[in-house]
Chain A
C-alpha cells in the first residue's frame, strides 16, 4: 500500500457548520400548520403532505384497504373519470403522486406558478372527494394483485415479508400493507371509502412547501385545499412490540444467489444516544464505500456487490437492519463476517480517527441535502413527522460534533447485540443451517 498522500488535505478544509436554510412556519387562517422555504428562482412550487397512520390503520380483515385507496385517489373525482382527470392534470403540467406506507399516506405535488390555482383545485377535488368508481376500483385492484403476485416471486420482497412477520407478528407492521390476494380480492367500495375517511383527515396532517410561493399565499392555498377534509380520522394503532429473536431463517428460492436481510432491535430517534448510534452506523455500514461492512464483505473478500446497514425508525417500533446478496456458495461466509463485525463493534473500541471521519462525513453531507425545492419540501415534512423543530437544521451538526469517543464506546456496547441478530436468507444457500 502506498502512502496516503492526500490524507493530510482532509483536515485543511473547514466544513460548513450548518445548513443555511430559512424555514418559515406558517399557520393558515383556518389553522393548518406548514413549513415553508420560499425561493422564487424557478416558477413552480413543490408541496408535500403527510397523513400519519398509513396502512397500519387497516381494519381487521381489510388488509390492503388504505394502500388501494391511496392508489385510487388519482383515478377520478366528480364528473371527471380516470382519463378525464389525468387529461386535466397533464394539461396543466402538474404532477401529483399518492402513496401509502406503514406510517403515512403521502401526497407529493409540483405545479407551475402560472396555473397554480387551477392545479390546486384539481388536487383538492381528488383528495377530498375521490370518485372510487367501480371501473377504477376493479382496474387498480388488478394492478395491486399483480404486484402481490410479483412480490411472491421476488427474493427481496420475500425476505422483507418474512422479517416483518418474525419481528412484529400480528401487529400491522407484521404484514405487508399491500394486503394478500384474498384480502384485497374481498375489498368493497365501502371499505375503500371507510379507509379514505379514516386515513385522510386533518387531525394527522403535516405540510411542507418549497419554491415560488409566499407565506400568505400558502396559508390561503392550504385552507382551500385541505379545509374540506374530515376533522378527525381513525384512532392510531398501538406501539408494535418487538418479537425479534436471534437466529437464521431460510426460505427456499431458485437462483444463483441468496438475498439476505438481517435485523436486531434499534434505537428511538429521541433517545439521547441516537446521534452516537447514527455515527456508529456510519462507521459500520451507513452507505459509504469506506464503511466496515463494505470493506470486509466486498472490498477484501469479493463476496457481494453491495452491503449496507441502517437504523430504521418507524412511528411505532425501531429496528437496526441491513441487507446484501451473495452467491449461494459464499453467503454463509458473509454471514460469519457480519457477525464478527457486530461482535468487534460491541467488544473493541472505535478509534478516534474513525469517529472523526464519521463526523466530518455526516456534518459535511448535511447541508448538501437541501439542494432543490422538491428535496427541501420532502425533508421538511419528514422533520415535522419525527417531532423536530424548524431550527433543527441550524443545530443538528453541533449535536453530531458534541458526541465524544466515550459516548460511542458506551453506546456500541448497548446497541450491538450479535446474539440478537436475525438473518433471513432467501435462496439455496450452501451450508447455512436454519435455527428454527
Chain B
C-alpha cells in the first residue's frame, strides 16, 4: 500500500478540547476512540497497531512495512486483493501506512458500511493467510517503492544517511522501508512470525470518526473485535537506547541529480511523554519561531531578506509524537553564488543570536494565536482528527495528554523556549549534512 515514510511537518496543534470524543476499552484489551462529526454521511475506521519499524528484529529491516503490504493478501475468508476491492465496490477507499512506532490501516466509507469494514478488519487481525507467490511478487513491489521514493531522490538518500548517523544505537536510525539488501531477504516466515507476535486486540487501537454514535460503535466493536483472543506474548517496547552523544557528525552526499545544494542539520530531541509534554511543546514553539514562515520566521528574516540574502529557502521542523527521542531539524538552501559554508555559518549565527536575545514578544503572541485558531480549523477535517488521536495513542500518550496538548502549548513561556534551545541545539548531538552535485564547483 502507499504508505507515508516520514511523519514530517510542523505539528502545531493536536485535536481540540471541543472534540466530541468518547473512549472505552473492550474486554480483550482493545482501545476504542469514537469521534463524532455528523456533517456528512461518512465514517473513517482506523486500526492502529502499537508496533512499527523500530520494533523489527535485527537484520529484518523493512518487515513492518512489508507486512503492511501483505495484510491485503487475504485471510481464511478473503482472497488476495478482495479487501480493497470490497471497500472500493462500496464507494470507499482504503490504505495503510507504517512509521517507526506504529502501523495503521484505514477505510473511509458511507457511515452505514461500518459493520462490513469492522468485519473485514477484525478478520485480518488474526487470520491472515499468505501464499508464497504473493509474497515474492509483493517483495518486488516494495523494492520498486524504495527505488521510487528513496533511491530516485537525492534528498531522501541524504535523510536516510543522516538518520543512520544521528542514532548511534536506537533503531530510529534504520529506514522504515528497509535497507535494500535486507529487504531482498524478507520472506513469508519472517512476515508471519512478526504478524503473530504483534497483531492482536490488546496491541491495537480502534478509531472511528464521522457520522456515528458511541453506542453503535461499541455494539459493532464488541461483535467483530470482541471475540478476538488477546496475545499474551507482546514484548514491552524497550528498544536499545542512545548512549551519551559526544561527537558532532558531519557528512556530504554527492549526487549527479542534485540541482539545488543545501545544508540540513538534525539534533537529537526529546519527545512528548505521558504527563510531561512541556519540553516538547517548547520545541514545537521553537520550530515555529525559527522556521515556520517564509516571511516572518527568524531564519527567513535573517537569511532570505536584505540587500545580500544568503538563502533562497529556510525551514525548521520538529514532531514530538514518538515513543523515544526524535529529532529537531533545520534546512537552508543557499542563493546561487553563496556556498554551503556561508549558508551554514549564517544559520549558526541566527541560532546563537536567538539564544542570546530570546524570541520577540510579538512573534510569540502571533504564533500562539495561530495555534488557538488551529483548534477551530482542525474540526473541519474529521479524518485528520482520527489520525491525530490514533498516532498519539499508538506512541503511548493518553487521552488526557492529547486533550491537554493545546493548553500545554499555550502555556509555554519565552524563557522556556530559550532554555530548550540551549539544551537541544548542541552540535555534539547533531548531524550536519550537505547535499551537493557530483561535479565539484565553487563549494
State the A residues within 8 Å of B (CB).
Answer: 1-7, 9-10, 13, 15-16, 20, 39, 41-44, 46, 75, 82-83, 85-87, 90-93, 95, 110, 112, 135, 139, 142-143, 145-146, 149-150, 152-155, 253-257, 259, 288-290, 295, 298-306, 325-327, 357, 360-368, 370-374
Contacts and interface: CB of A to CB of B under 8 A. Distances in A.
B377 A44 contact: yes
Instruction: Pick the most buried of B79, B94, B258, B336: most chain A CB atoms within 10 A of its CB.
Output: B79
Contacts of A9: 86, 116
Interface in B1-48: 1-2, 39-42
B335 interface: yes
Interface stretch (B69-77, B193-201, B221-229, B410-418): B69-77
Given A13-B112, A82-B295, A305-B148, A299 B81 contact: yes
24 contacts: A2-B74, A6-B86, A6-B120, A9-B86, A44-B377, A75-B295, A86-B295, A91-B369, A93-B374, A139-B305, A150-B260, A153-B257, A153-B258, A289-B85, A289-B94, A290-B85, A304-B144, A305-B145, A360-B89, A361-B88, A363-B91, A364-B92, A371-B210, A374-B380
Contacts of B81: 289-290, 295, 299
8 interchain residue pairs of minimum CB distance: A364-B91, A302-B140, A93-B373, A86-B295, A371-B40, A290-B85, A289-B84, A305-B145
B79 A155 contact: no
Contacts of B40: 367-368, 370-372
A82 B116 CA distance: 52
Contact of A361 (B91, B137, B367, B383): B91
B91 A257 contact: no
B39 to A, nearest CB: 6
Contacts of A155: 152
Contacts of B256: 254
A75 B361 CA distance: 23
Contacts of A288: 84, 88, 93
A365 B39 contact: no
Nearest to B292: A90
Given A6-B120, A43-B376, A372-B40, 18 more contacts: A9-B86, A10-B90, A44-B376, A83-B295, A153-B258, A153-B259, A256-B152, A288-B93, A289-B84, A289-B94, A298-B141, A299-B80, A299-B137, A302-B137, A364-B109, A367-B110, A371-B210, A372-B380
A367 B210 CA distance: 13
Given A42-B380, A83-B305, A142 B92 contact: no
A302 B144 contact: yes
A302 B139 contact: yes
Interface string B386-400: 000000000000000
Contacts of A256: 147, 151-152
Contact of B260 (A20, A43, A146, A325): A146
Nearest to B379: A42
B41 to A, nearest CB: 6
Contacts of B137: 299-302
Nearest to B85: A290
Contacts of A44: 376-377, 380
Contacts of B141: 298, 302, 304-305
Interface string B310-352: 0011000000000000000000010110000000000000000
- Interface SS of A by simple majority: mixed
Contacts of A15: 90-91, 110
B238 interface: no
B422 to A, nearest CB: 26
Contact of A365 (B92, B140, B309, B372): B92
B335 A142 contact: yes
Interface residues of B, number: 82
A9 B295 CA distance: 54
Contact of A327 (B147, B369, B376): B147
Nearest to A290: B85
B41 A367 contact: yes
A165 to B, nearest CB: 20
Nearest to A368: B42
Given A6-B78, A289-B72, A367-B41, A257 B295 contact: no
A145 B367 CA distance: 30
B91 A90 contact: no
Contact of A142 (B78, B88, B312): B312
Contacts of B313: 143, 146
Given A9-B116, A20-B41, A86-B293, A365 B91 contact: yes
Interface of B: 1-2, 39-42, 72, 74, 76-82, 84-86, 88-94, 108-110, 112-113, 116, 119-120, 129, 136-142, 144-145, 147-149, 151-152, 210, 256-260, 293-296, 301, 304-305, 309, 312-313, 333, 335-336, 362, 366-367, 369-370, 372-374, 376-377, 379-383
In this complex, the member of A93, A298, A301 whose beta carbon has the largest number of chain B beta carbons within 10 angstroms is A93
Contacts of A149: 259-260
Contacts of A3: 79
Contacts of A4: 78-79, 82
A351 B305 CA distance: 62
A83 B301 contact: yes
A87 B148 contact: no
A99 to B, nearest CB: 14
A86 B296 contact: yes
Contact of A257 (B39, B90, B151, B336): B151
Given A289-B88, A365-B92, A257 B147 contact: yes
B424 to A, nearest CB: 25
A299 B84 CA distance: 12
Nearest to A44: B376
Nearest to B113: A13
B76 to A, nearest CB: 7
A153 B257 CA distance: 6
Contacts of B336: 142, 145
A1 B259 contact: no
A39 B90 CA distance: 27
A152 B369 contact: no
A301 B78 CA distance: 21
B377 A110 contact: yes
A359 to B, nearest CB: 10
Contact of B80 (A1, A255, A306, A326): A1
A3 to B, nearest CB: 8
A427 to B, nearest CB: 9
Contacts of A295: 81
A259 B382 CA distance: 35
Nearest to B296: A86
Contact of A303 (B77, B116, B144): B144
Among B91, B151, B301, B377, find the residue whose CB has the most chain A CB atoms closer than 10 A.
Answer: B91
Contacts of B74: 2
A295 B367 CA distance: 47
Contacts of B377: 44, 95, 110
A2 B79 contact: yes
Contact of A368 (B110, B296, B312): B110
Contacts of B88: 288-290, 357, 361
A10 B86 contact: yes
A364 B74 CA distance: 24
A370 to B, nearest CB: 6
